[in-house]
């Protein structure tokens, strides 16, 4: 039974998240329905990251096991046909060894959080950015973000429903930069806690607004208490950009 690695792009707005749920449409359910129409079976799919409701993806990685071999481009073409009109695109497919696991084999996940920082609301980018009207101090945000990089107990930035066994994670990168009217926050780590990126962004935004200092962010981290950190940034600004795997 050959295993295939799929790379997906999707708009998370219409979905309750990646994972199949009874409360509404999910990316996983849409993908598996498209696969069933194509191959005549109902294979289960496993994703590198279970993105939340409203969170987007440019490079979500999924693996599926199919009953027979298919040409990778045929898989992409068939999926893109059967996925319509859902805002999901299959960008690439490749046959991989059965030892490959989209979630467990991943060694890096990279996210981009976009803040539209201007008075006027978004027209073309509505649903894909967090609109913050008040000016944000990007340099102060970046400086405070560096206090969060490294190996820490991230309890203060963890959702109450998080199912991870440990709150201890290594945050490899948290960089803040301005791109025109937008502020981009790049976050990379082997893995993240539930809502961790959105909680990190919501916290350093308090610094950008002048309400907090870097020391306040450090105290929030040290507190190991979700109530000590800033608010959770909206889901629509977050996008899973890339998933890294060992070169072999």
Distance in angstroms between the alpha carbons of the first and the last residue of the chain: 21
Q: How many CB atoms lie within 10 A of CB 103?
A: 16
Pairing of strands 238-244, 130-131: unpaired
Q: What is the mean pLDDT of residues 4-14?
A: 97
pLDDT digits (tens, 9 = 90+) for 186-206: 999 999 999 999 999 999 999
Residue 198, H or E segment: helix 196-208
Tell me if the pTM is above 0.85.
Answer: yes
Catalytic entry in 11, 52, 86, 216: 52
What is the pLDDT, as a whole number, of residue 97? 96
Residue 247 has pLDDT above 90, yes or no: no
Lowest mean pLDDT among 36-45, 59-68, 71-80, 136-145: 36-45
Lowest mean pLDDT among 69-73, 83-87, 157-161: 157-161
User: What is residue 180's three-state secondary structure?
Assistant: coil
What is the pLDDT, as a whole number, of residue 158? 96
**CATH no., domain 3-96:** 3.30.70.580
Residue ranges per domain, the chain? 3-96, 108-244
Q: What is the mean pLDDT of residues 87-106?
A: 97
Q: What gap in Å lies between CA 248 and CA 244, rounded to an integer?
A: 12
What is the pLDDT, as a whole number, of residue 214? 98
Domains 3-96 and 108-244 share a fold: yes
DSSP class of 215: H
Residue 78 has pLDDT above 80, yes or no: yes
Residue 105 has pLDDT above 70, yes or no: yes
Residue 160 has pLDDT above 90, yes or no: no
Average model confidence (pLDDT) for the chain?
A: 96
Q: Which CATH class is domain 108-244?
A: alpha beta
Residue 248 has pLDDT above 70, yes or no: no
Stated length of the chain = 248
Asked if 63 and 7 touch (Cβ cutoff 8 Å), the reply is: no
- Tell me whether residue 46 is exposed, middle or buried, using C-beta atoms within 10 angstroms of its C-beta: 0 to 12, 13 to 18, 19 or more: middle
181 is catalytic: no
């Amino acid at each position: 039974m050959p295993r295939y690695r799929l790379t997906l792009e999707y708009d998370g707005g219409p979905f309750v998240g990646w994972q199949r749920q009874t409360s509404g449409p999910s990316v996983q359910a849409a993908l598996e329905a498209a696969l069933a129409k194509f191959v005549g079976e109902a294979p289960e799919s496993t994703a590198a990251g279970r993105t939340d409701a409203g969170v987007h993806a440019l490079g979500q990685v999924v693996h599926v096991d199919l009953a027979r071999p298919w040409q990778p481009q045929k898989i992409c073409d068939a999926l893109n046909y059967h996925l319509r009109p859902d805002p999901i695109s299959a960008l690439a497919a490749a046959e991989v060894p059965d030892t490959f696991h989209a979630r467990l084999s991943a060694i890096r996940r990279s996210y981009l959080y976009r803040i539209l920082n201007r008075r006027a609301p978004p027209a073309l980018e509505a649903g894909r950015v967090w609109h913050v009207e008040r000016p944000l101090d990007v340099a102060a945000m970046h400086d405070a973000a560096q206090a969060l990089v490294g190996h820490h107990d991230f309890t203060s930035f963890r959702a109450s429903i998080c199912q991870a066994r440990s709150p201890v994670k290594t945050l490899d990168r948290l960089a803040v930069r301005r791109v025109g009217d937008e502020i981009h926050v790049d976050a990379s780590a082997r893995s993240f806690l539930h809502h961790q990126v959105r909680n990190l962004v919501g916290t350093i935004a308090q610094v950008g607004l002048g309400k907090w200092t870097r020391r306040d962010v450090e105290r929030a981290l040290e507190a190991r208490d979700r109530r000590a950190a800033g608010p959770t940034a909206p889901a629509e600004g977050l996008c899973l950009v890339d998933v890294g795997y060992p070169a072999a």
